[in-house]
Amino acid sequence: MQTRTVTRTFVLVALMLNLGVAGVYAQSGHPINVRVKMTFSGNGAPSPINLNQPDTSTSEENVAGDGTLGPFTFRNVSANSRTPHPSSTCPGLFFPRVAGAGLLRFEDGSLLKVNLTQGGDCIDLVQMVGHCTLTFQINGGTGRFQNASGVLTLTETAHPILADALNNPVFFSETGELTGAVFGVNIEREDRDDR
């Protein structure tokens, strides 16, 4: 019985020390790794930006949300194939995205830069809804993300809300989430005056 109590005490003390050291380490400005889940909503539409990719059109998404890293906005610009491609995971029409980049801006002013590595849009013509999955490589940023790296996956659902004269959808409502891992997030200690 006494051995069990001593063992529990050592485990508890080790855990407390570990959490205390991790807290001091994170508060002292050292980079940490963060698993993230961030939800968002916003809109998508064609973009005037030309990414000069053959047989593509350019689209952009402007969304805002909240999650592990705090409130954020996200603007993503990508070149989308004009013709559908075969896909084993899409029961509708699949349009790959062949190039693109995005920028997340957080409430503290920090920016997180991402480049599109793969993904596309699966269009369900029966339900008139689009499902998008994109993978982004993190390429640093500013503020707490200056030396950040990692991978984020965007999954979203898009519903058309406006069509052009040819009845092609051109403006969409979008909801979804960003998940993944951000390595090298710099957490600065906040000295607050409670007076």
pLDDT band at 3 (very low <50, low <70, confident <90, very high): low
Choose among 156, 159, 148: nearest CA to 181. 148
Give the span between the Cα atoms of 151 and 131, in whole angstroms: 20
Residue 154, token pair as written in the block: 């965007």
Structure confidence by residue, pLDDT tens digits, 68-107: 999 999 999 999 999 999 999 999 999 999 999 999 999 9
Contact (CB, 8 A) for 130 and 121: yes
> 180-190 burial by CB neighbour count: b if 16+ within 10 A, else e?
bebebbbbeee
Look at residue 8 and tell me whether its pLDDT is greater than 60: no
3-state secondary structure of 36: strand
pLDDT-based confidence at 30, cuts 50/70/90? confident
At 126, phi and psi to the nearest 5? -75, -50
- Per-residue pLDDT reduced to its tens digit, 183-194: 999 986 443 333
Say whether pLDDT at 16 is over 90: no
Query: What six digits make up the tokens of 142?
Result: 């500013």
Give the pair of three-digit tokens for residue 28.
Answer: 């002292």
What six digits make up the tokens of 184?
């090298």
Q: Which of 5-19, 52-66, 113-127, 140-154 has the lowest mean pLDDT?
A: 5-19
The residues pairing with 111 across neighbouring beta strands, listed in sequence order, are 105
Region class of 52: left (phi > 0), else alpha (psi between -120 and 50), else beta: left
pLDDT per residue over 115-170, tens digit each? 999 999 999 999 999 999 999 999 999 999 999 999 999 999 999 999 999 999 99
CA dihedral of 155, 90, 158, 57, whole degrees rounded to 10: 100
Residue 42, phi then psi, degrees to nearest 5: 170, -140
Domains in the chain (CATH in brackets) are: 31-188 (2.40.480)
CB 179 within 8 A of CB 37: yes
pTM value surpassing 0.85: no
Contact present, 36 and 178 (Cβ < 8 Å): yes
Residue 28 in 3-state DSSP? strand
CB-CB contact of 147 with 112 (8 Å): no
Nearest to 179 by CA among 143, 110, 133, 111: 133
